[in-house]
Amino acid sequence: MRLRRAVTTFALSVALLCAVPGPVPAAAREAVARTAAGAAPAVTRDGATTARPVPSGTLTSPDGRTLFTDRHGRVLRLRGLNLGKTDTVTEQHVAQLAHDGFDLMRLNIQWEKVEPHRRHYGTTYLRYLDRVLGWADRYRVLVLIDWHQDVFGPAFGHNGIPAWATRTDGLPFEPDPDDWFADYFQPAVQAAFTHLYDDPDLRAAQTAVYAKVATALRGHRSLLGYDLFNEPFGPVPGDPANPDDQIRASAALERGRLAAMYRRLIGAVRSADRNAWLFLEPTVLVGQGVPTSLPGFHDPRPGPGRLGYAPHYYDTAVESGADWNPSDRFIDRYEAGIGGYPTAHRLPVLVGEWGPPQATTPGNAELIRRQVASMDRFASGWALWYDCRAGNGSGYCAYNLDGNPAPGKEPAFAPYAPAVAGIPDTESYTPATGTYTLTLTADRTTRRAWTLLSLPATTFPDGARVSVTGAGPAVVVAGGPGRAGLLLPAARPGATVRVTATIRPPHVGRRAPSRVGTS
């Protein structure tokens, strides 16, 4: 029996149905015809080529991971940036984020701003949050609301829990100017966390403010959900500098006080919003490869639960100023420590924060590259810390002063597939050759739903050539600046499909840098 390998190639500039034999669904022909006529690709029963997909369910991959899926059954992968902690988010921020290929914003909000005085909510701040989500609706960016705190709140010179909700029992607080994280171990901060977890009036106030925000923001199509508590911390009996005491305290917190808080906060959000995803964070010890001791949680919404796991991915030595040492097995330890909990409870993983303070040194640049590859192995999404601009690649900023990716952080801006009709297998980008490759295993969704590609101008300034093997006849249409939709109506379930995008030579119908289509 002769086997013929079907190969289809496209140059991304104008939408066109490929001239290869084989039936193409009417909906696909309609999408191509509309695009060729100058209209946006249609949203059809086969899927959408323009709208950002929204997680509505999950599936379990062959390797045991729980992956986001949308209403078409496509596997979703989210990539984005953190913003909003210290600066005001503008429409330009959201537009730039979308232009650079990201589809997720982790928006840092603080209780102190929502409720600056007991029972008096900041209506101006709530309107601001509503505007930000309105811009996200417009630019098709998903928003994860992060209830952020660092070292409890402003009573200790940081942000998060309002001063009126801070109870120290008169214990001392002596900040360390050289190590802000050490402030967590100060007696006053330890007391403040204990009261937040234990005092009935503070628990009630926290429940009410979460419900208030959920009520104000529900209904936005960009709202992915809520990260319930950033980097939870608590009392550390014994010696805070002793790693064994830290591990015991972390486990006790996760099994007890923190678990009880999460149950309250799940109920608070669900009292106002039945659809948002709710993400649980472990303590920061997960960054040292310590598995979480969190129990399982019940989502009271009707139908399947919408809970996720949102750890952070930081190397302690790098955070303290060291250049990353690839021989320290940080990534191996982290992956080993991170996998058990979401697998056992069938939760999708979204890494809420990651990235070194700067990536201009050789080790940290390699760390960025390896972390992107690592998260492709275990996570359904991630948000790099942080959306800002700085000279010489200093600090956590994702951009340099001229708005280009900061030196060493280019791998975070690589092309990817936000939605895959099938089971994604591998994904890679090679800067030296300008080649992006996605492999997937076709399933029942592959024939009828669009696979979406993000091919941003940061990596494909003149567009891209896309080739497909293993799928038979294929259709590619433009899906907006830097995006393309791929339909594989003849793909056989179980077949391995390979999609490759390469740099398009400037002399081949050169377009504006942000333009992506097909020809």
Same domain, 254 and 349: yes
Q: Which string of b and e fits 478-489 if b means at least 16 CB within 10 Å?
A: bbbbbbbbbbbb
Residues with Cβ within 8 Å of 432's Cβ and at least 6 positions away in sequence, in order, are none
pLDDT value for 474: 92
pLDDT value for 40: 33
Among 389, 414, 439, the domain-final residue is 414
d(CA 299, CA 306): 7
68 located within any domain: no
Among 365, 386, 414, the domain-final residue is 414
Q: Is-above-0.75 flag for pTM?
A: yes
Same domain, 458 and 374: no
Same domain, 261 and 118: yes
Same domain, 466 and 340: no
Same domain, 226 and 335: yes
Single-letter amino acid code for the residue at 424: P
d(CA 354, CA 312): 6
Q: Is the pLDDT of residue 402 over 80?
A: yes
| Confidence band for 286, pLDDT divided at 50, 70 and 90 | very high
Same domain, 152 and 287: yes
390 located within any domain: yes
CA–CA distances in Å: residue 244 to residues 247, 282, 491: 5, 17, 53
Mean pLDDT across the stretch 192-208? 98
Total tally of structural domains belonging to the chain: 2
Same domain, 174 and 239: yes
Give the closest residue to 343 by CA, choosing from 370, 373, 377.
377
Instruction: List the CATH number of the domain containing 298.
Output: 3.20.20.80
Same domain, 82 and 198: yes
Same domain, 47 and 83: no
pLDDT digits (tens, 9 = 90+) for 48-82: 455 679 999 999 999 999 999 999 999 999 999 99
Same domain, 395 and 435: no
pLDDT value for 478: 78
Q: Which domain holds residue 248?
A: 75-414
Q: Is the pLDDT of residue 305 over 70?
A: yes
Q: Is the pLDDT of residue 2 over 50?
A: no
156 located within any domain: yes
408 located within any domain: yes
Q: Is the pLDDT of residue 350 over 50?
A: yes
pLDDT value for 387: 97
Same domain, 202 and 313: yes
- 204 DSSP assignment: H
Among 414, 432, 464, the domain-final residue is 414
Mean confidence (pLDDT) of the chain: 89
131 located within any domain: yes
Same domain, 390 and 292: yes
75-76, strands of its sheet edge to edge? 16-17, 475-478, 483-487, 451-454, 416-420, 75-76, 66-69, 57-60
pLDDT value for 49: 56
Mean pLDDT across the stretch 212-228? 98
41 located within any domain: yes
2 located within any domain: no
Q: Is the pLDDT of residue 107 over 90?
A: yes
1 located within any domain: no
pLDDT digits (tens, 9 = 90+) for 410-448: 999 999 999 999 999 999 999 999 999 999 999 999 999
Mean pLDDT across the stretch 279-285? 97
